[in-house]
Amino acid sequence: MSRTEWILGLVLAALLIAVGYFAIAYWLGPSDLPVTVDGTVVAPTRAVEVGAVPTPAFVGDTALLAFGLAQQEIAGWEADAILLSAKATFPYGNALEDSREGRSNWTFTFYSPAAAQVKTVSVVAGTVSVVGERAVEEAFTPAGVGGWRLDSNEILALFLEQGGEEFLSQNNVSTLTMALTTDNESGRIEWLIALFGDQTNRSLTMTMDAGSGETLEIVRN
């Protein structure tokens, strides 16, 4: 899959989440709105009495922490299994500090060259589940995870410094999507990060080296 296709996919995913959110908001009303995170429904944050301890509406992990859990699940699958991609979406309603710290629910896709199969697992609030497994005809050439040095919180900090903060200040309610890809023409592991303005329909997408943090491409729409 080309970089352009990844970028378009990220923006489309963010757009669908934004449209879905406002459709649900209209249907249920603001006081009863659930927030869906990768298929998991959690209650939105509500006002609490003074002195009460609020219950977090969302619990997530950084990408590398979640990857460690996913590896444990995949350990008994195929000996040659290697990471193909990782994805996460931070929908509107997610705690701002979680977004800025790169914490989310993650979906990891692993590839076995010998079996010609891919297996996808999700890590939701520390719980790992198998999403699916299927055969593939295309032969992938993913880079080894040894080149993945920057966690989601670290790469997100660089993204915010290089235009993300400005985008958030200008677009207010936004959806953040992150994807880590290992099967790239560059031979490197790359982060693709996208912000979509739910109310402005504007977007900011960056492709960054997951090893060095170098910004490879910036697309603004």
103-152: pLDDT as tens digits? 899 999 999 999 999 999 999 989 999 999 999 999 999 999 999 999 99
User: pLDDT per residue over 174-209, tens digit each?
Assistant: 889 999 999 998 899 999 999 998 889 999 999 999
Domain boundaries, the chain: 3-220
Cα Rg of the chain (Å, integer): 18
DSSP letter (8 states) at residue 158? H
Give yes or no for a contact between 85 and 108, defined as CB atoms under 8 angstroms apart: yes
From start to end of the chain, where are the E strands? 35-37, 40-42, 82-90, 106-112, 117-124, 127-135, 174-181, 190-197, 203-209, 215-220
Phi first, then psi, for residue 148 (nearest 5°) are: -95, 105
Q: What is the pLDDT of residue 97?
A: 60
Q: Hey, what long-range contacts does 20-25 have (CB within 8 A, 24 or more apart)?
A: 21/91, 21/92, 21/93, 21/198, 22/198
